[in-house]
Amino acid sequence: MSSRRFTRAELESFRDAEVPDLLPRPGQALRLLFVGINPGLWTAATGTHFAHPGNRFYPALLQGGVITEPVHPAEGMDDAQRDVLRERGIGITNLARRATAKASELSADELRVGGRQLVELVRRERPAVVAVAGITAFRTAFGRQKAVPGRQPEHLDDDLPGELWVVPNPSGLNAHETVASLAAAYREVAVAAGVVHGEG
């Protein structure tokens, strides 16, 4: 567990900061692209996606067999730790770039702009599976108000191959989900992407 702590003022100083995408190195394939809603302040402070100690993203990946060794991001990940994900073909980005204390601080316009930017990223990187973590943000970003979680019947854009999924958001604020339910959802998209085998 992390011993790192930030004061409220320290975290607030990272409001509106951006966090670089985690994408493969040259020559590495991007099989599975996880898409968060936007960086939280702890994520911005550490430069590491899903870094808040209460976030269940990495524990769920581990429990689901998507990664095979623990990742502890709360103090920030170094390149060796990021390579744990890269070498398995996993990338991470966000719909909106700027950090906020809560995703509810984002406007609908920001999410729609982010949706268009995501299409461009996917067109460039060509992941086998895109997994957007958050059904409400997905509906807003792409104007698909009747979308339900799981594999989507449409692609992100007409000329883009690969599968599009909506999975649960791992934030500790999403009280409807547990590490076990998140693990099952994340394993499902990892199997679809060829990151892990379907058995086991």
Q: What is the pLDDT of residues 142-199, one digit of tens each?
A: 999 999 999 999 999 888 888 999 999 998 778 789 999 999 999 999 999 999 987 6
Structural domain for 35, as ranges = 8-193
Is position 87 within any domain?
A: yes
In three-state form (DSSP H/G/I as H, E/B as E, the rest C), the secondary structure along the chain is: CCCCCCCHHHHHCCCCCCCCCECCCCCCCCCEEEEECCCCHHHHHHCCCCCCCCCCHHHHHHHCCCCCCCCCCCCCCCHHHHHHHHCCCEEEEECCCCCCCCHHHCCHHHHHHHHHHHHHHHHHHCCCEEEEECHHHHHHHHCCCCCCCEECCCCCCCCCCCEEEEECCCCCCCCCCCHHHHHHHHHHHHHHHCCCCCCC
* CATH classification at residue 36: 3.40.470.10
Is position 1 within any domain?
A: no
Is position 86 within any domain?
A: yes
pLDDT tens digit at each of 200 positions of the chain? 455 789 999 999 999 999 999 999 999 999 999 999 999 999 999 999 999 999 999 999 999 999 998 888 988 999 999 999 999 999 999 999 999 999 999 999 999 999 999 999 999 999 999 999 999 999 999 999 999 999 999 999 888 888 999 999 998 778 789 999 999 999 999 999 999 987 65
Total domain count for the chain?
1
Is position 75 within any domain?
A: yes
